[in-house]
Structure 1
Amino acid sequence: MGRNVGPFIVVAGIIIAVLGVLTWVGGLWWVGRLPGDIRIERGNVRIYIPVVSMLVISIVGSVVLTILLHLFRR
């Protein structure tokens, strides 16, 4: 188990770093703005409930994780 965990942690760290850079430079502008995301703006109150954005991120994450796990099994 110890030999398989190292590469997985490295890949997970790289993915998190890339997502952090994309967030920092504005590459994830679509999060919270897709059709189906709930945005309530009244006066000084803004509420964002990114339902569809989280579904997209979850599906993409599941596909990437499935591919990575398939590659590391060999």
Structure 2
Amino acid sequence: MSMIPKMLITLGVILIIVGLLWQVGGKYLSLGKLPGDILIKRENATFYFPIMTSIIISVILSLIFFLIGRFR
């Protein structure tokens, strides 16, 4: 089997695991409602920009990809 199908299968399994953990852990971890996220409410509109959540997800993904590249 070549490298690309193995990588796609691994990525799919990782995404399924992350999705399940996010679904179950959403009750306990308030990811998306962190201090630093911007929330503006007006009379008829709401603007939400999860800046701190985006930074945390970016750091975690960077570490994961660094580790995958390091041990490959």
TM-score calculated relative to the size of structure 2:
0.71
Contact 1:32 1:48 in 2 (8 A): no
Identity of aligned residues (%): 29
Instruction: Pick closer, same or farther for the CA change 1:46–1:19 going to 2, 3 Å.
Output: farther
Instruction: Pick closer, same or farther for the CA change 1:64–1:56 going to 2, 3 Å.
Output: same
**One-letter amino acid of the structure 2 residue matched with residue 13 of structure 1:** G
Name the counterpart of 2:53.
53
In the alignment, the residues of structure 1 paired with residue 63 and residue 2 of structure 2 have an alpha-carbon distance, to the nearest angstrom, of: 23
TM-score calculated relative to the size of structure 1:
0.70
**One-letter amino acid of the structure 2 residue matched with residue 68 of structure 1:** I
Name the counterpart of 1:30.
30
Contact 1:32 1:49 in 2 (8 A): no
In the alignment, the residues of structure 2 paired with residue 56 and residue 3 of structure 1 have an alpha-carbon distance, to the nearest angstrom, of: 33
- 5+ residue gaps, structure 2, are none
Equivalences, count: 70
